[in-house]
Structure 1
């Protein structure tokens, strides 16, 4: 079911899924940064899980996308989702290491 946003443009299934995956990946980056600023294990776990979900959805959609960039199949959104998901995964891993490490006295 396409969503009509403006005249001549509709956000169909091909663009909606990777766009949502990219938004989820952005949420993972923000959550990981928050977990790094203030070490909080549950926030780091949320960042880790959302990053993994964004990477999987983006990779599956990117692998199944027909055509290249600019064809309206959502390949650009899938690439952004994987890239942001990887950043979120790295930052979440760092935040988890920071939250589990005991302070040196």
Structure 2
């Protein structure tokens, strides 16, 4: 289970609910492609946030999300012991719906 509090950590949330698994995988792939042209963490996170909005992804509500399928992963290196590991998942949301989730699975993420 992925447990989310729904709280904001700095300028982002730990998880974003997307309309579909395909939307979640698209968001993560955009961040991965951005690495070809960009190395600055702030710029990469801005790309992530724009892509999330473009795909209709919203901050995930508090609750437990049951992973059903693991998708692609893209890391943002914020320096020593400060990375983000954005992962696309197909999940069953707390309301029972099957949906996409873009989740920061980093061990350095703020404990949610």
* TM-score interval, smaller chain: 0.3 to 0.5
More strand by share: 2
Q: Which has the larger radius of gyration?
A: 1
Higher helix share: 1
The alignment's TM-score, normalised by the length of structure 1, stands at: 0.32
TM-score (norm: length of structure 2): 0.31
